[in-house]
Amino acid sequence: MAAIACCFLAAALPHVAVAQALASYSIAGDGIAESLTGQPGDAVRGRALVADRSSTCILCHAAPLPEVRFQGDLAPNLAGVGSRWSVPQLRLRLVDASKFKSDTIMPSYYRVDGLTRVGRNWQGKPILGAEQIEDIVAYLATLRD
C-alpha cells in the first residue's frame, strides 16, 4: 500500500521526484535484449509519449502522427523505424545512443552520469523513466514499412 502511494506521488509530481537508481541493463551487440522493467511496453502509451513535446522526440524527429503539427527534421523520420531496427536496438538507441556513436546528438534518455551543468529540476534524473522507454520502444516497433 505504501509502495503504491509512493509510486502515485512520484507520477503526479515528476519534478520533485527523488533521484532514483536506474535499472541495470546489459548491452549485447548494439542492443539491450531485456526489457528495463521486465515487462513489455504499451504501444498506445508509447504513441502518446512520442506525440507529447515534453518527451522531446518530436522536437527533432518527424513521426507518422498526423495530429502533431510541428515536427522536427534534425533527425531521421521515425516512419518505418520498426523495420530498420530490432527491439533490442531500439531500446539501446533510447537508453544511451552514445554507447555506439559517441558524437550523436541524440540525448541519452536513460542516463544520469557524465553530464555537465544539468539544471536543478533535472539533476539525478533520466530524461525518461524505464516504463516510458519500454512504452516508446513498443510503439516504435509497430512503425513498420
Partner 1 sequence: MRLCAAAFIFAALGALPVLAAEIPAADRRSGYSFMSSDSKAMQDDDTANPGMLAVLEGETLWQTKQGDAGKACADCHGDAATSMKGVAARYPAFDAALGRPVDLEQRINICRRDHQQASPFPNESHELLALATYVAQQSRGQPITTGDDSALAPFIAKGRELFMQRQGQLNLACTNCHDDNWDKHLAGSAVTQGQPTGYPIYRLEWQAMGSLQRRIRGCMTGVRAQAFDFGSPEMVALELYLMSRAHGMPLETPAVRP
Supply the minimum distance, in Å, between the C-beta of residue 117 and partner 1: 5
Q: Does residue 53 interact with partner 1 by CB under 8 A? A: yes
Supply the minimum distance, in Å, between the C-beta of residue 137 and partner 1: 19
CA atoms of 96 and 27, how far apart (whole Å):
10
Give residue 38's region: left, alpha or beta (phi > 0; psi -120 to 50). Answer: left
Contact between 30 and 92 (Cβ < 8 Å): yes
Q: Does residue 56 interact with partner 1 by CB under 8 A? A: yes
Q: Does residue 11 interact with partner 1 by CB under 8 A? A: no
Among 49, 58, 94, 138, binds partner 1 (CB under 8 A): 58
* Span from 20-28, 32-40, 76-84, 103-111 in contact with partner 1 (CB under 8 A): 103-111
Chain CA centroid to CA 74, Å:
17
Residue 95 parent element (H or E) = helix 87-96
Supply the minimum distance, in Å, between the C-beta of residue 13 and partner 1: 17
Half-sphere exposure of 116 (CA within 13 A, CB side): 0
Q: Does residue 8 interact with partner 1 by CB under 8 A? A: no
Please provide the distance, in angstroms rounded to a whole number, between the alpha carbons at the two ends of the chain: 44
Q: Does residue 113 interact with partner 1 by CB under 8 A? A: no
Q: Does residue 108 interact with partner 1 by CB under 8 A? A: yes
Q: Does residue 55 interact with partner 1 by CB under 8 A? A: no
Contact between 102 and 37 (Cβ < 8 Å): no
Task: Name the residues that contact partner 1, by CB under 8 A.
Answer: 53, 56, 58-60, 69-74, 98, 102-103, 105, 107-108, 115-122, 125, 127
